[in-house]
Amino acid sequence: MNSIENENNLVAKADQSFHRLMDYLIRNDFKGHEYDDLLASPFVNALTFNSLWLKIIAVQISKRFFLNLRPLLGVPKLHSTKAFGFIIKGILYHHLATGEKKYLAHAQRALSWLLENISKGYPGLSWGNDFDFASRAGFYKKGLPTIVWSSHIQEAFDLAWKVFKDETFKDAVIRIAEFTHQGLEFVKDSGGSYIAYSPGITIPIHNSNLLGVVALLRGWKYSGNKEHFIKAKEALNWSISKQNKDGSWYYGPIPMLHWIDNYHTGYNLDCLMKVREITGDELINEQVTQSTYSFWKNNLFTGKGQPKFYHNGLYPADIQACAQAIESFSKYLFHDDDAYLPMVRTTQWTLNNMQKPNGSFRYRIYKFRTYQLEAIHWGQATMLSALGHFIFCLKNRKNLNDAVINQTTPQDVP
């Protein structure tokens, strides 16, 4: 496109996209495959012979092999705990933006389903994957709770409390903080202490640590538990001390985790903004957030708004990177008007290139091929949340500058 669309037209386009995606999700009973679910196949699982490396290879094949063999391999379509967290957020933000109530019953059923499908045997409330998963960070048995899943779901319960005023949802926010404090290790190293990814899995990762920080602070906001505040401060300082000087973030501070990608940087940015929203200047300097945003915006997007996968690599165009970018820009816009143009460009690029005729969003576009997988969390749920945030953002932002809206989009520069 040669120019930024009229804002009203773009909101209408995003709203239409939201409804098409909801129709798709309803038709499929909110079930689907996932990009990393190949170990849910009994055949594939048997052929890994309990070898971590063979399990990792199987997961990597499922991420990259562009033909969807899951039906042939017996991989079922499943409900996803994390997907429901994002679906709830999308529906509720869309409701807050438009007043539309037609999907609220779906959000309420998803909230009830989450409370009925927690990970058993852990303090508080927590959730994990609905299938086995393996990566270089370790092996995650089905149902093993993670702070990533649990913190994102906590955000959905926090929003649900604000919308429905049901004490059950506020209590869930507090109990997820209890899981973070009591169910996860706080691992000490030379830089302080950080929050483990899962019980027993202690590899140092910034986005999971920061999501744990936010989980503790959300709970503290309601409970006043001082220990949660103290632990959040410790873990936050650990990550901030390891931020790169140019504002970027490695996935993790050890050499095997030294890559910089789009969506994990977006997660970090969201967490830093949430810390400031909850605690003001008490725990974090604005410069940390600003430098993160500046690096992310200037190094992880093309001029047309396509999210780059890595800061030094364009492909693949990944739907999670698109969804997280739209959501993070939408949130950051309430801090700084600078986020408006990149938010609009990325939303336009995503709607024009990633949504399929059936309303779903494709998984990835590579340089010479496209992977059409309709991943339930990695794509459908995260895009529903992103679109809800985007519409809410533009419906609630005042005094938009028409001159800015009508600027010409610069030529694409990978």
- The per-residue pLDDT for range 118-145, each reduced to its tens digit, is 999 999 999 998 877 667 666 777 889 9
- Per-residue pLDDT tens digits for 223-259: 999 999 999 999 999 999 999 999 999 999 999 999 9
**The one-letter amino acid at 23:** D
Q: What is the mean pLDDT of residues 269-293?
A: 95
Whether the predicted pLDDT of 399 surpasses 60: no
Taking alpha carbons only, the member of 296, 319, 324 closest to residue 385 is: 324
Q: What is the mean pLDDT of residues 171-196?
A: 96
Interatomic CA distance for residues 52 and 71, integer angstroms: 24
Query: 143 vs 321, which has greater pLDDT?
Result: 321
Q: What is the mean pLDDT of residues 370-386?
A: 96
**Model pLDDT, residue 134:** 66
Q: What is the mean pLDDT of residues 328-349?
A: 94
Q: Are 125 and 150 in contact (CB under 8 A)?
A: yes
- The burial class, CB within 10 Å (0-12 / 13-18 / 19+), for 63 is middle
Q: With cut-offs at 50, 70 and 90, classify the pLDDT of residue 36.
A: confident
Q: What is the mean pLDDT of residues 31-35?
A: 91
**Model pLDDT, residue 370:** 94
**The one-letter amino acid at 347:** T
**Model pLDDT, residue 66:** 72
Q: What is the mean pLDDT of residues 322-347?
A: 95
Average per-residue pLDDT in the chain?
90
Peptide bond into 316 cis (omega under 30): yes
pTM exceeds 0.85: yes
Strand order in the sheet with 370-371: 317-318, 364-365, 370-371
The token pair at 238 is 């650990």
Question: Hey, where are the domains in the chain?
Answer: 1-34+79-117+315-401
Q: With cut-offs at 50, 70 and 90, classify the pLDDT of residue 2.
A: very low
Whether the predicted pLDDT of 341 surpasses 60: yes
